[in-house]
């Protein structure tokens, strides 16, 4: 029980980075240096994602096209509809800025690492989870900006230049990692623990830079504790609805237990690692922290809920 209640170190680091940047934001030359390092770190992050993805797993996972259609449909169709429905909460429940942030979180792709880990722990179809989450991220490079341009009325800049920046920052390193996997795959596997710490450190860096810019732009002067609690409740409802949809729709389609588990995690999760870089390209630096705040909250909720649910599913499987 105590182990379950202990907070995830990654969540602590994310919250710590946001709090530190809110109290002592990076400014001047320090911020300029960190801002320049961020895209390089993100590129390395997605290079490692590509290097980790096994070709054999990809081939095995691609055969289950019905599962991937359901995951992608949930991520890029069902979630945007939920995000649009949440706009009805503005302005009585959600402020306009937080409502836009909730919509953005509904437009970003699924996460990769936590989906695969939770699917493996729960006894699900790991190959399908790897491919499904990776496809979501690859397509998200193009679909997320397109959905932002179509559905959001904020001051996002979606043009050929912004799409190219996202492709160069996320997709190109991923493809390069896949191409070089033959030579570096074994090294990546041996150093997986250290490289995962680098993954998480990169996301913490992006959060710190985003919140430093947000604090300088007056983020917290326009956000109250009540606003944070309300958006956390909205994110919790979104997560519950998404999980219920994934479980119900996969049962209706006759998927096996292993496939339903993969759909559950891949379909309901949202990627902070992809969402933050995409948002930093599409939105002005002064508004990025504010608009990704719901995504950060949702990400933490999905980590906590996902780890508890995966453990419970694994225990249930062991008892059968």
Residue 275 has pLDDT above 50, yes or no: yes
Q: What is the pLDDT of residue 191?
A: 87
φ, ψ for residue 192 (rounded to 5)?
-60, -40
CA atoms within 13 A on the CB side of 61: 26
Q: What integer is the mean pLDDT of 78-94?
A: 93
Q: What is the pLDDT of residue 99?
A: 92
**Distance from first CA to last CA of the chain, Å, rounded?**
23
CA atoms within 13 A on the CB side of 230: 19
Q: What is the pLDDT of residue 145?
A: 93
Residue 1 has pLDDT above 50, yes or no: no
Question: Domain span at residue 236?
Answer: 2-313
320 in any annotated domain: no
pTM equals 0.86
232 in any annotated domain: yes
Band (pLDDT 50/70/90 cuts) for residue 264 is very high
117 in any annotated domain: yes
149 in any annotated domain: yes
Q: What is the pLDDT of residue 86?
A: 94
Q: Could you tell me which residue, 40 or 160, shows the higher pLDDT?
A: 40
Q: What integer is the mean pLDDT of 11-29?
A: 86
318 in any annotated domain: no
Q: What integer is the mean pLDDT of 137-152?
A: 91
Residue 85 has pLDDT above 60, yes or no: yes
319 in any annotated domain: no
Q: How many domains does the chain have?
A: 1
CA 170, 298, 158, 147 dihedral sign is positive
184 in any annotated domain: yes
Residue 169 has pLDDT above 60, yes or no: yes
Band (pLDDT 50/70/90 cuts) for residue 154 is low
- Of 126-140, 222-236, 246-260, which one has max mean pLDDT? 246-260
CATH number of domain containing 52: 1.20.1530.20
Band (pLDDT 50/70/90 cuts) for residue 4 is low
194 in any annotated domain: yes
CA distance 39 to 45: 10
Each as own residue / partner, the long-range contacts of residues 66-70 (CB below 8 Å, 24 or more positions apart, any chain) are: 66/253, 66/255, 67/125, 67/128, 67/132, 67/250, 67/255, 67/259, 67/262, 67/263, 68/128, 68/131, 68/132, 68/135, 70/246, 70/249, 70/250, 70/253, 70/263, 70/267
Q: Could you tell me which residue, 172 or 62, shows the higher pLDDT?
A: 172
User: 264: exposed, middle or buried (C-beta count within 10 Å: 0-12, 13-18, 19+)?
Assistant: buried
CA distance 243 to 309: 11
Q: What is the pLDDT of residue 49?
A: 80
């Amino acid at each position: 029980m105590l182990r379950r209640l202990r907070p995830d170190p990654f969540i602590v680091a994310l919250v710590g980075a946001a709090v530190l940047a809110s109290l002592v934001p990076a400014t001047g030359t320090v911020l300029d240096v960190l801002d320049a390092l961020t895209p390089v770190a993100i590129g390395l992050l997605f290079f490692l994602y590509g290097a980790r993805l096994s070709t054999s797993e990809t081939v095995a996972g691609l055969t289950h096209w019905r599962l991937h259609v359901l995951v992608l449909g949930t991520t890029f169709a069902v979630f945007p509809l939920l995000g649009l429905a949440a706009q009805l909460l503005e302005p009585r429940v959600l402020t306009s800025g937080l409502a836009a942030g909730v919509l953005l979180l509904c437009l970003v792709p699924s996460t990769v690492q936590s989906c695969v880990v939770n699917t493996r722990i729960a006894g699900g179809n790991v190959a399908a989870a790897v491919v499904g989450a990776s496809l979501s991220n690859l397509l998200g490079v193009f679909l997320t900006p397109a959905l932002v341009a179509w559905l959001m009325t904020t001051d996002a800049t979606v043009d050929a230049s912004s799409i190219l920046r996202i492709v160069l920052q996320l997709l190109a390193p991923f493809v390069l990692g896949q191409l070089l996997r033959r030579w570096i795959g074994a090294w990546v596997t041996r150093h997986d623990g250290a490289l995962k710490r680098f993954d998480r450190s990169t996301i913490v860096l992006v959060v710190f830079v985003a919140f430093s810019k947000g604090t300088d732009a007056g983020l917290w002067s326009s956000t109250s504790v009540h606003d944070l609690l309300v958006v956390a409740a909205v994110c919790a409802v979104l997560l519950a609805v998404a999980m219920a949809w994934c479980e119900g729709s996969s049962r209706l389609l006759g998927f096996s237990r292993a496939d339903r588990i993969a759909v559950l995690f891949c379909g309901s999760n949202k990627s902070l690692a992809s969402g933050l870089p995409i948002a930093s390209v599409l939105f002005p630096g002064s508004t990025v922290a504010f608009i990704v705040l719901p995504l950060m909250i949702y990400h933490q909720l999905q980590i906590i809920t996902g780890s508890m649910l995966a453990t419970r599913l694994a225990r249930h499987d062991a008892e059968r």
